[in-house]
Amino acid sequence: MSTEPLSLLAPDGTFTAHAGPAGPAGPFGPAELRALHRDMVMTRRIDTEAIALQRQGELGLWPSLLGQEAAQVGAGRAATPRDVVFPTYREHGVAWCRDVDPVSLLGLFRGTTLGGWDPASNNFQLYTLVIGAQTLHAVGYAMGIVRDGDVGTGDPGRDRAVLVFLGDGSLSEGETNEAFVWAAAQSLPIVFFCQNNQWAISSPYSVQSRVPVAQRAQGFGFPGVRVDGNDVLACLSATRDALDSARAGNGPTLIEAFTYCRNPHTTSDDDGRYRSGSENDAWAARDPIERLRRHLVSSGAADAAHFAKLEAQERALGERLRTGCRALPDPPPDSSFRNTYVDLPAELAGQLSEHTEFVAAGQEDAR
């Protein structure tokens, strides 16, 4: 198989049409191109603001996605509202595409919640921190879709699929490999979207595997597709094709979006200890947002007034994130007790009383 990734948009912004399994990808209309650009710009603003909030002590931690905006927006916009999305903990751009309030992404990292949104309301599941665990949940959900009869009917209002995100590190987890086995054996409507950002904290991809990510799908018996992860159009096209195929009942696809996270693993990490700045510079030159901006300008799809308006929207989002973060309420002290089981067991009720008295006494002492 070719390891040359599918690319539609060159780093200089030149567009080249490419025929995929579902026909030629593109041309993309100017409105769609502007929308994708806006999604990436807003995603980056969420990331930048969150890092600043972490530096100011408002967040305990933030996993940055800098450089992965195209992969996330391309894949995120390929899914329909009826498709179900399972993220890792870095899918801030996908969350944006699923209309999850960006402020609610901050709660997990501020310590006000371990989730932050209703997993059912946007078909966007909660962030999963244990690497690879969500791949099996995605498989189970896809089994549910099969049992609902919502696959292969040909009715676009009915057929749906699961889009699950994973990283290069998760490919070494047993659970991810089990998910591949299950998805293949049952020909499930599922797309595995792997952002290969080449580093699992300090472990380079060479620690995980000796073959490209996409090639691994072959051994499990389903297609693997390699795309330029910094090309939002390639990511969108490949994911649309794969989701169409899944919804039609043709089984799973593994997409490898070859990309690079230009920030350390999280705000707690120090990537100067394990990788070079020159690698980072090379990937900065392949920036996903800049390349689409160039295309928008050269194709005349957007003018200066458009970019000025976008900048204002971006600033407003930043302000909303800063205010919203500080306004996130602390959870009620009894929330953990009440959310562990449907009904509070007697022993836990006793522990809650003990805790409530302790907290009240502390507040009394503070007065």
Nearest approach in angstroms of CB 344 to another protein is 10
Q: Please identify, using beta-carbon distances, which residue of 32 and 334 lies nearer to another protein.
A: 334
CA distance 147 to 312: 46
Q: Please identify, using beta-carbon distances, which residue of 304 and 346 lies nearer to another protein.
A: 346
Nearest approach in angstroms of CB 326 to another protein is 20
Nearest approach in angstroms of CB 151 to another protein is 12
Nearest approach in angstroms of CB 242 to another protein is 19
Task: Name 156's Cβ contacts closer than 8 Å, sequence gap at least 6.
Answer: none
Nearest approach in angstroms of CB 181 to another protein is 5
219 sits in which H/E element: helix 213-220
Task: Name 179's Cβ contacts closer than 8 Å, sequence gap at least 6.
Answer: 132, 135, 136, 138, 139, 164, 192
Q: How far is CA 64 from CA 140, 275, 309, 331, in A?
A: 29, 17, 25, 25
Q: Please identify, using beta-carbon distances, which residue of 186 and 202 lies nearer to another protein.
A: 186
Strands (E), 171-294: 190-196, 199-200, 203-204, 224-228, 253-258
Residues within the interface to another protein (CB under 8 A): 84, 113-115, 118-120, 125-126, 128, 130, 133, 135-148, 174-175, 178-179, 181-182, 185, 331, 335-336, 338-342, 345-348
DSSP class of residue 121 equals T
How many CA atoms, within 13 angstroms, populate the side-chain half-sphere of residue 179?
33
Q: Please identify, using beta-carbon distances, which residue of 6 and 100 lies nearer to another protein.
A: 100
Q: Please identify, using beta-carbon distances, which residue of 10 and 143 lies nearer to another protein.
A: 143
